[in-house]
Amino acid sequence: MKIRWIPVTSFSLLSLCLTALGFGSCQSKKFLQQQEEQRSELHRQLAKIDYEQATSTAKLAQLRDDYENIGRGECVYGGPNNMEEARRAMEQRHAQQEKAIKAMIAEEEQKLDSLYGERQKVERQLGELDNPKKKK
């Protein structure tokens, strides 16, 4: 019986096939699982941020409606002697309400801005996980 030698090109093709299938990569399954866990955690954070943005937007819309409706449908009763005093009290009450609602509106807008910043950060991290070659 004659000994048959396998040519070197066959070994090269076999190693090329194994590498193409991913068996020759340096990444282990544990590393891939960690990346998948990070990706799912980032998606959860993104969903949480979306929910918070939606609630903040709804609250902001409600506050703006409240701001527009200050003093609507309010009547001042009184005779000619106390009419000025009642109007002054009503105007002071409206000014206090406007100031309080403007503060709440500013707070909600600041919250939305910070949520937007967090959203950008999470999306950037997701992009880095999806495209590891573009880190440079």
CA geometry: angle 58, 64, 70, nearest 5 deg = 135
pLDDT tens per residue, range 83-106: 788 788 888 999 999 999 999 999
d(CA 30, CA 34): 6
pLDDT of res. 136: 46
CA atoms within 13 A on the CB side of 50: 8
Whether residue 24 has pLDDT greater than 80: no
CA distance readout (Å), 33 to 28, 37, 38: 9, 6, 9
Mean pLDDT, all residues of the chain: 83
In this predicted model, which residue has the larger pLDDT, 57 or 79? 57
Confidence (pTM): 0.62
- Reading the block at residue 74, the tokens are 């309010």
pLDDT of res. 22: 66
The mean per-residue pLDDT over the stretch 29-38 comes to 81
